[in-house]
Amino acid sequence: MDLKKNGFKKIAWGITGASHLLKESVEVIQSLITSKYNIDVYFSKAAKEVVTMFGQMTSLNKLRNNYKNSIHFVFGSRQGWSYPICGKFSQKYYDTVIISPTTANTVAKISYRISDSLITNIVSQSLKGLVPVIIIPTDFKAGLCKTVAPGNREIEIIIHESDVERTDALRKIKGITVLESPDQIKF
């Protein structure tokens, strides 16, 4: 997905509670900010914990301190049950929405059109407002997957076929583009 070619400059970036692809996602956020994009980062309730546990909150806070006008944080834990901030997504406040990394749980909810969290509401309202959504799931290919555990230890986990089926279902939803890595975002 080429952001520059499509004229996308104002981005909402949602982070879920996944550790796989987290570091890569933060690196792309950093590159986008230094390339003069404006990003509001939306953290699910679990994301705040995972981002902190994996040391990426420090990187994001440094970025926010250095680029105060270009990056802002919104935390799901500070939103009410109806996630009132999500109203702006159906009103084309953003040029595009990127959800990365996206847990299998969030992918399944989006594929079934369940909107019961900050991130799933963001996607739902964006689709209603015809705002392009890019989703980068952690579970896109069945089988063994190398990832990182706390302490920066490399581990292998199994991606189940049922989770891959939900990712494939996302590809059929008009307005959603599924990528396998944050590195596939061009700008």
Q: What pLDDT, in 10s, does the model give residues 68-85? A: 999 999 997 766 666 778
CATH number (domain holding residue 121)? 3.40.50.1950
In a domain, 1, yes or no: no
Smallest CA-to-CA distance from 3 within 45, 32, 25 is with: 32
In a domain, 71, yes or no: yes
Identity of the residue numbered 99? I
In a domain, 187, yes or no: no
Domain count of the fold of the chain: 1
* Sign of the alpha-carbon torsion through 81, 124, 61, 10: negative
In a domain, 43, yes or no: yes
* Predicted pLDDT of residue 120: 97
DSSP letter for 24, please: H
In a domain, 5, yes or no: no
* Predicted pLDDT of residue 80: 65
For helices 45-53 and 22-34, give the axis angle rounded to 10 degrees.
Answer: 90
pTM higher than 0.85: yes
* Predicted pLDDT of residue 81: 66
What residue has token string 């699910």? 44
- Host domain of residue 121: 10-180
On average, the pLDDT of the chain sits at: 93
Confidence of residue 158 (pLDDT cuts 50, 70, 90): very high
Confidence of residue 124 (pLDDT cuts 50, 70, 90): very high
Asked if residue 137 has a cis previous peptide bond (ω within 30° of 0), the answer is no
Number of alpha carbons in the 13 Å side-chain half-sphere of residue 35: 14
In a domain, 110, yes or no: yes
Higher pLDDT, 123 or 77: 123
- Those residues whose C-beta lies under 8 Å from the C-beta of residue 107, and which sit 6 or more positions away, are 135, 137, 139, 163, 166, 167, 170
Q: Mean pLDDT over residues 87-99, rounded?
A: 94
pLDDT at residue 131 tops 70 = yes
